[in-house]
Structure 1
Amino acid sequence: MNVMQPIDRIRGAVHDKERHESGHKHVTGTAEYIDDMPEPAGTLHAYLGLSQRAHAEILSIDFDAVAASTGVVGILTAVDIPGENDVSQAHKHDDPVFATGLVEFHGQPIFAVIAESREDARRAAARVKIDYRDLPHVTDVIEATEANYPLVIDPLKLERGDIADGFARARHILEGEMRIGGQDHFYLEGQISLAIPGEDEEVTVYASTQHPSETQHMVGQVLGVPSHAVTVNVRRMGGAFGGKETQANIFAAVAALAAKKYGRAVKIRPDRDDDMTATGKRHDFHVDYKLGFDDEGHIDAVDAVFAARCGFSADLSGPVTDRALFHADNCYFYPNVRLRSRPVKTNTVSNTAFRGFGGPQGMVGGERFIEDIAYTLGKDPLEIRKLNFYGGEGRNLTPYHQTVEDNIIGRIIEELEQSADYAARRADIVAFNRKSSVIRKGIALTPVKFGISFTKTEYNQAGALVHVYADGSIQLNHGGTEMGQGLYTKVAQVVADEFQVDLDRIRVTATSTGKVPNTSATAASSGSDLNGMAAADAAQQIKARLVKFAAERFGVAESDVAFEPNVVRAGIERIPFPDFIKAAYGARIQLSAAGFYKTPKIHWNRAEGRGRPFFYYAYGASCSEVSVDTLTGEYQVDRTDILHDVGRSLNPALDIGQVEGAFVQGMGWLTMEELWWDAKGRLRTHAPSTYKIPLASDRPRIFNVRLADWSVNREETIRRSKAVGEPPFMLGISVLEAISMAAASVADYLIPPRIDAPATPERVLMAVERLRCQGIEDNDAGLPRRHS
C-alpha cells in the first residue's frame, strides 16, 4: 500500500459554506424534475374533473361528450377504485379521491379523464355535464361557527395556573380579536406524479411529495394492495413548503390507479389554476383573547381561543391547530393561561401543512397580545416584550408544561438591539413622525422561540442507507426529501465528515421507499436533525468494521486507527482512502449499513395537555423599519436586521439562504398574500394574476442577516446544529409590527392599531383612518394623553 502525507482538512466538511449540490443545475435548467423525465413509450395523461359548486348533491353526471373527445382512453370515478376511495389522514375516511353523491367545496375532484395527451385530457374534462342540487355553504370561519358547523377534530386545551385568580388580580383587563389570513404555497413546480405499472400488483410512482412513505401507503390503500407492491421515488421537488406533505397523495393515487387499469405509464399535472383551487393552504385563523396585566405591562393572565378555517375534511388540521397553541406564548411567560383551539369545518378545500405548521399563526396572536398591552400603556412594545420573557426558576414553564431549559432569547435580543441601533433609530422615527403629515415610519424588534420536533411522536425517527463501493466512492440514501432547502448537501457533508473524505466522493441518490422504508415526512424542520443522525449512524457502523479490520491487518490497537482527511491511519501508516477500501473489500468486510435514529426525551399527552413535545428550541430576532403612505396605505420595508440561532451551523451558506427566504415568505404572508372566496364559494385568488407574492423589489432596501455563531445546541443533535427550515419564517412578524407602529403614530401611539393580517394597503389605510378618528374623539373627550 502507498503511504501519503496527511492533509489538513477535507473539502466540503461539516460547518463549511458548501454550495447546494444541485444549485448549478437549478440556475442552468439541467436539474431534472418529473416533468423533465423522458416519458415511457405510450404514456397516457390524466386530468381531474373538479366540482363547480361549493356544497351540493350530485344529481347526475353526463360523460358522453367527455368520452367522445379526441384522444380520450377512459374516465375514472369512484367505482373504478379497487381499494378504498380515501386518502385521509389516520384513516378518518373523510377525504375521498373522487366525490360521490356530495361535493363539499368548489374544486373538489369528481372524476379523472385519461387521454393520449395532457391537452386532450384537460379539454375533455371541461366538457362534462353535471346536475347539482345546491346546499347552503360557508367559507368563513366565523360564519361557520355561527352556523354551528362541526369541528373536524377534537379541540385542544392548554391550561396552567389559576386563570380566574389571574384576572381578579390584574390591574388592567383588555379584550380583542384578530384575523390571521391563510397563504398559498405557490411552489414553482406544481403537483405532479408519474406512475409506471409493473407485473402483478407492482407499481412505481415518481411523485413530487414530501412524505414518500405516506404516499406509498395511500397508493396501496387506493389500489387495495400492500405497501411492498408500491415504490415511490423522489429525486427533488421544485418547492413544497408543506403543500406536498399530504396534498401530493391524490395525484399519485390517480396516476397509479390509471396506470394499473390501462397497463400504461400515466402522468398527471394540473394547471396552476386547478392546482391552487384543489389543494389546501395555510389555515386562516380568528383569535379571540382576553388579557390581564399590571401598570408596568407584566402579563397576569391570558385566555384565548384560536379558531381555524380547516376546510371540508380534517387533513392535518388537528396537529396544525395544536401547534398554534404551542407557540401562542412565543418567548413570553404567562403566569395564568388558558388556550383553546377550534378547528372548524368549512366548505373550502382542506387546509394543510405550511412552513411553521400553525406555529406562525399562534405566534402572531402572541405578538398581538404584546402590541395591545404596549399601546394601551403608551410604551415601546419592545419594553413589554423584554419584561415578559421567559426567565429563571418560576418563570420557565410553558402552557403545555414543558420547561424552557435552553433560553438564549435575552442575548439574541440584546445583540440585535445594539447592532441594529434600535433605540436611536426609534427615537429618530418618533421625531420624524411628529413632523411628517403623510409618510409615517415604524420600527419593531420581535423575537422567535420555535419548538423543534414532530408533535406526532412516531414521526421523530429516520433511516438511512450507506454503501461504500470498492473504489472508495460512497452512495448515500435517506428518508428525507430535497425541495431546494439543501438537505441532500447537509447530510452528504455529515457522511463526508464521518469518513473524512472530500464531499465530491459522496453521491446522494433519490429518496425511495424501496431503499429506506417507513420514512417520516420531510417537515417540522427536522430533515437534517433526523436524517443526518441516521446517516451518521450508518457510517459509524461501517467505520467500526473498518477499524477492526485495520487493527488486525496492521497489527495495531483499534485506538491507533483513525480516519484522517482522505486517508486512514493505522499506527504510523497512512493509507489513501480508496486503497484502504479496496483492501477491506478484498478481505470481505461488509461495506454497507442501514442507519437509524429516533429523537430522545420527547413525550406528549394530548388529552392532558402536558408533556415535552419539543426536543429543543430555536431562537431568533428581527428588526424591521417601514415607511407608510397614510393617504394610500402603501408601504415599503426600508431595512431589516436579523440575528438567528441555528446552533453550530452544518452549512452557514445554506442556513443564511434559508433565513433570508423564510423572512421574505413570512413577510409576504403577513402583508400581501391574500386568499379570497366569492359569494358562491369560489376561490378567486387562484393564479399569479390574482394572488400576489413578494417580488425581489419587495425585499428590504437594506437587508442584514447574521447567524448567532456563538450558539451551540445543548442537546445532542447532529454536530450540535439546530433546525432552520421553519423558525426564521416568523421573523417576518417584525414587518407587521413596524407597520402597526407607523399606523399608531396618527393617534400618538395611544391606541392599539389592531391591523388584521395580511396588512394589505387597504387594511392599513382603513386602520389609519380609524385610528385618526378615534384619536380625535379621545382628545375631544379630554382623555389623558401618554407619550411613548
Structure 2
Amino acid sequence: MSNTYKGNISKALLFHQVRQEIIIKPSDRGTDITKTIQGRFTIPSQYHYTMETQSCTVSNNSRGVTVRAATQWMDLVNVAVGNALGIEHNRVEVIVPRLGGGYGGKGSRSSQIACACAVVAYKLNRTATLVMSIVDNMAAVGKRQECEMDYEIGINNDGLIQYLNITYYSDCGYCFNDAAGDFSEMMVTLYDTSRWQIEGYSVLTDKAGMTWCRAPGSTESISIIEHIMERIAFATKKDPTDIRLMHLAKKNVVMKDIVASFQRDCDFEERKAAIKKFNEENAWKKKALRLSLMAYPIIYSWNFPVTITIHHADGTISMAHGGIEMGQGINTKVAQVCAYTLKIPLEKVTVRPSDSFTSPNSMASNGSITSDCVAFATVKACEELLRRLEPFKKGLENPKYIPTSVLHDVPFRQPARLHRVRSVRRRGRAGRADGQPSAAESGCSALNYTLQDYTVYGVCAAEVELHVLMGSNQLRRVDLLEDTGISISPDIDVGQHLVYGSNGKLLTNRTWTYKPPGAKDIPADFRVSFRRNSPNPAGVLRSKGTYSYHYLLMFISLCSLKALET
C-alpha cells in the first residue's frame, strides 16, 4: 500500500488521496548507536464475523416510522433516517432489543441499511425488512483498516533505543469517513517515547470504505510496538521481557510489579526452563513462550441516559438505557448494579430494549466505555430514588424490600418524584442555559458529578508448539491477567485472510473462502486471572472497564511462534 504513495507524498496530499493524521517528534536522541534495525510490518484487514449480518425492519405508524435496526448507534440511525425521508427526527422511533454481534461493524454502517429499508417502507406505506446476505455484507460493508508501517531503530549493546522512526499508512478504502489513522496515541501509552518520531497517514484506495473493527487503531498500535520490541530482543539476543521493562515510561513503573506477580503466578521462569529442555530433546517439535504488556488509557465522553421506573403495585423495577446489548453483557451488568445499589433481589429488575424515546441522543456503543457509563448513570439514578424513598423508609419498622412496602401505601402520592428517575452520563456541562439541570434529567447531570479517566493494564503469556515437518502449530497455553479493579460481574469480564482483485473487488466474500477462528485456534489451556488488591477509586463501584482492551494482547501468540525462528 505504501509503495503507491511513498515516493510522492506531497502530490498525494495535494490531490487528497492521502491525509496526514499525526506527527510526533522526539525530544531526545541517543548517541550510543551500535546497531541499526530496519523493517516493514503489515497488519491485514479483518471482517466482522458476527452471527447476524446487517439487518433492519421499518414499519409506519401515525407519528412517522418505527425502525428496528441492528445498530450500535441509535442516534445516528435516528438522524440518518429522518434526513433520508425528509421528516422531523421526533417522528422516527428507533428500537434495538439486542444485536447478534457488533465489533464496530454496526456503528456507522448500520445507518445505510436502515435508510434503504426506511425509504421502501415510507414510499410504499408498508412494513419493509432488509437482511443482507453474508456475500453482500462482506462486499459492501467496511472492514478493519489494513495498516503498513516502515521503521528504523537505532539501539546500543543493551538494546536501549537511541532513536526510532516510524511511518505508517492506514488503508481507508474509498473514503476517510471512519479513518483510524490517528492511532499513534496508543503507541505512546506504555513505553518511554522521548526518542520516537512517528508520522501517520490515512490513504484512499479502490476498496469499499473501511470502518471500525474491534479496538480500531489500538490493535494496530500495540501490535506494531510489540513487534519492534521483539525485533530488538532478536537482534541483541536478550530476553524480550527485559527489553520491554527497560523501555517502560516512568508513569507506568507499576507494570514491573504486575509483571513480577504475573510471572510467579503462571510459573513463567520454570516453564521457560522446561521448554528449553523440550526443544533440546525434540528435533521436529518445538515450543516457545513469550509475554506482552499493555497500558490502555480510558477516556470518558458521550451521552448515555438511564431511566429507572418503579411499578407501584408490586415494587418491581423496569429500566432502560442508551447502551446496546450485543453479547458483551451490558444488560446483566446494569441490572446487577441497580439491584446492588437499591439493595433488592436481582429478579426484581428487568431491562427494557434500548430505544430513542427513553434514551434520546445516545452515542455509539463502542470504545468499551459504554458499560461503565451506563453503570455510573444507573448508580446515580438509584441514589436519587433512595433519597426520595428515605422519608417513607423512616416510617417503617425493619423494612426489607423498601419499594414494595412504600408503594403499597403511597402509590400515587408523589408520582413524578417517586416513580421515574432519569440519569445522564455526559462529558462537560449539561442542562438549562442558566446552568440548572433540566427537568428531564432530574438533577442527575455532569454538573453534579463526572467520571475520572484512568489506565487499564494487562499482561499476557502465550505458549505455542510447532511441528516443524508438518508446519502445524497449536496454542498450548495462554495466561491472561485482566486489570478489572473490583470487577462488577466477574463471570462477564472473565486465522482470517481477505483477498482483493486488481480492481479492489473482494474475492473472499463467503464462508467457503474466509474462515473465522476455529477450535484449533483456542488455547488448549486458557487461564484468566484478575489483578488482586487493585480497586479503582476513579471507577464505577471501584471497577475498571473490560471488553476490547485485552484483545490488544493477542499479538503475543504470533511473537511466540516467530520466536521459534531462533
User: What TM-score do the two structures reach when normalised by structure 1?
Assistant: 0.65
Whether contact under 8 Å (1:495, 1:536) holds in the other structure is yes
Whether contact under 8 Å (1:329, 1:366) holds in the other structure is no
* Equivalent residue runs for 1:7-406 within 5 Å: 140=1, 142-143=3-4, 154-159=19-24, 161-162=26-27, 165-166=28-29, 168-199=31-62, 202-317=64-179, 320-322=180-182, 324-329=183-188, 331-391=190-250, 396=251
State how far apart, in whole Å, the 1-side matches of 2:58 and 2:365 are.
22
1:465 corresponds to: 307
Cα displacement string for residues 111-138 of structure 1 (whole angstroms, at most 9, x for unaligned residues)? xxxxxxxxxxxxxxxxxxxxxxxxxxxx
State how far apart, in whole Å, the 2-side matches of 1:494 and 1:193 are.
31
State how far apart, in whole Å, the 1-side matches of 2:221 and 2:21 are.
13
From 291, 301, 305, the counterpart of 1:445: 291
Larger radius of gyration, structure 1 or 2?
1
CA drift of 1:437 comes to 3.4
Does the C-alpha gap of structure 1 residues 575 and 691 become closer, same or farther in structure 2, counting only changes over 3 Å?
A: closer
Does the C-alpha gap of structure 1 residues 220 and 161 become closer, same or farther in structure 2, counting only changes over 3 Å?
A: same
1:737 corresponds to: 559
State how far apart, in whole Å, the 2-side matches of 1:360 and 1:221 are.
34
State how far apart, in whole Å, the 2-side matches of 1:617 and 1:152 are.
35
State how far apart, in whole Å, the 2-side matches of 1:381 and 1:573 are.
59
Aligned AA (1:382): T
1:620 aligns with 2:458: yes
Whether contact under 8 Å (1:242, 1:353) holds in the other structure is yes
1:560 corresponds to: none
2:358 corresponds to: 515
Does the C-alpha gap of structure 1 residues 379 and 529 become closer, same or farther in structure 2, counting only changes over 3 Å?
A: same
CA drift of 1:341 comes to 1.5
SS of equivalent residue, structure 1 residue 465:
strand
State how far apart, in whole Å, the 2-side matches of 1:181 and 1:428 are.
34
CA drift of 1:160 comes to 5.2
Cα displacement string for residues 475-532 of structure 1 (whole angstroms, at most 9, x for unaligned residues)? 1111000001100010111111121111111110110011111101111011111111
Does the C-alpha gap of structure 1 residues 595 and 362 become closer, same or farther in structure 2, counting only changes over 3 Å?
A: same
CA drift of 1:644 comes to 1.1
State how far apart, in whole Å, the 2-side matches of 1:680 and 1:497 are.
56
* Equivalent residue runs for 1:664-679 within 5 Å: 672-679=495-502
CA drift of 1:313 comes to 1.1
2:440 corresponds to: none
1:635 corresponds to: 473
1:686 aligns with 2:509: yes
Does the C-alpha gap of structure 1 residues 585 and 408 become closer, same or farther in structure 2, counting only changes over 3 Å?
A: farther
CA drift of 1:423 comes to 1.8
2:550 corresponds to: 728
Structure 2: unaligned runs, 5 residues or longer = 430-450
Whether contact under 8 Å (2:482, 2:529) holds in the other structure is yes
1:505 corresponds to: 348
Does the C-alpha gap of structure 1 residues 575 and 291 become closer, same or farther in structure 2, counting only changes over 3 Å?
A: closer
State how far apart, in whole Å, the 1-side matches of 2:102 and 2:96 are.
13
State how far apart, in whole Å, the 2-side matches of 1:520 and 1:578 are.
34
State how far apart, in whole Å, the 2-side matches of 1:449 and 1:362 are.
12
State how far apart, in whole Å, the 1-side matches of 2:560 and 2:210 are.
29
Whether contact under 8 Å (2:392, 2:406) holds in the other structure is no
Whether contact under 8 Å (1:197, 1:256) holds in the other structure is no
State how far apart, in whole Å, the 2-side matches of 1:203 and 1:142 are.
49
SS of equivalent residue, structure 2 residue 20:
coil
Aligned AA (1:186): Y
State how far apart, in whole Å, the 1-side matches of 2:554 and 2:413 are.
57
When the two chains are superposed, the root-mean-square deviation of aligned CA atoms in Å is 2.3
CA drift of 1:414 comes to 1.3
1:70 corresponds to: none
CA drift of 1:705 comes to 1.2
User: What TM-score do the two structures reach when normalised by structure 2?
Assistant: 0.90
State how far apart, in whole Å, the 2-side matches of 1:240 and 1:574 are.
40
Whether contact under 8 Å (1:243, 1:352) holds in the other structure is yes
CA drift of 1:228 comes to 1.2
SS of equivalent residue, structure 2 residue 375:
helix
Aligned AA (1:484): G
State how far apart, in whole Å, the 2-side matches of 1:713 and 1:706 are.
17
Whether contact under 8 Å (1:482, 1:488) holds in the other structure is yes
Aligned AA (1:259): A
State how far apart, in whole Å, the 2-side matches of 1:178 and 1:151 are.
25
Aligned AA (1:592): R
Aligned AA (1:177): R
State how far apart, in whole Å, the 2-side matches of 1:547 and 1:465 are.
20
2:529 corresponds to: 706
CA drift of 1:467 comes to 0.7
CA drift of 1:472 comes to 0.5
Aligned AA (1:478): H
State how far apart, in whole Å, the 1-side matches of 2:17 and 2:80 are.
20
SS of equivalent residue, structure 1 residue 579:
helix
Of 504-513 and 170-179, deviating more is 170-179
State how far apart, in whole Å, the 1-side matches of 2:256 and 2:116 are.
51
2:319 corresponds to: 476
State how far apart, in whole Å, the 2-side matches of 1:335 and 1:434 are.
41
1:528 aligns with 2:371: yes
State how far apart, in whole Å, the 2-side matches of 1:488 and 1:306 are.
39
Cα displacement string for residues 52-90 of structure 1 (whole angstroms, at most 9, x for unaligned residues)? xxxxxxxxxxxxxxxxxxxxxxxxxxxxxxxxxxxxxxx
State how far apart, in whole Å, the 1-side matches of 2:6 and 2:94 are.
40
State how far apart, in whole Å, the 1-side matches of 2:123 and 2:427 are.
42
Structure 1: unaligned runs, 5 residues or longer = 1-139, 397-403, 555-569, 602-612, 657-671, 746-788
Off by >4 Å, runs of 4+ in structure 1: 144-154, 570-576
Aligned AA (2:181): T
Question: How many residues are treated as equivalent by the alignment?
Answer: 538
CA drift of 1:356 comes to 0.8
From 413, 425, 431, the counterpart of 1:587: 413
State how far apart, in whole Å, the 2-side matches of 1:372 and 1:246 are.
37
CA drift of 1:221 comes to 1.9
State how far apart, in whole Å, the 1-side matches of 2:74 and 2:5 are.
34
State how far apart, in whole Å, the 2-side matches of 1:445 and 1:726 are.
19
Cα displacement string for residues 658-697 of structure 1 (whole angstroms, at most 9, x for unaligned residues)? xxxxxxxxxxxxxx11111122422122111111211123
Aligned AA (1:422): F
Does the C-alpha gap of structure 1 residues 433 and 484 become closer, same or farther in structure 2, counting only changes over 3 Å?
A: same
SS of equivalent residue, structure 2 residue 411:
helix
Aligned AA (1:466): I
Whether contact under 8 Å (2:25, 2:198) holds in the other structure is no
1:414 aligns with 2:260: yes
CA drift of 1:153 comes to 7.4
Cα displacement string for residues 324-360 of structure 1 (whole angstroms, at most 9, x for unaligned residues)? 2122235211222222221100111111111112101
Does the C-alpha gap of structure 1 residues 617 and 156 become closer, same or farther in structure 2, counting only changes over 3 Å?
A: same
Whether contact under 8 Å (1:167, 1:300) holds in the other structure is yes
Does the C-alpha gap of structure 1 residues 197 and 373 become closer, same or farther in structure 2, counting only changes over 3 Å?
A: same
State how far apart, in whole Å, the 1-side matches of 2:93 and 2:532 are.
41
State how far apart, in whole Å, the 2-side matches of 1:614 and 1:289 are.
35
CA drift of 1:142 comes to 3.9
SS of equivalent residue, structure 1 residue 679:
coil
CA drift of 1:151 comes to 5.2
Whether contact under 8 Å (1:416, 1:643) holds in the other structure is yes
1:597 corresponds to: 425
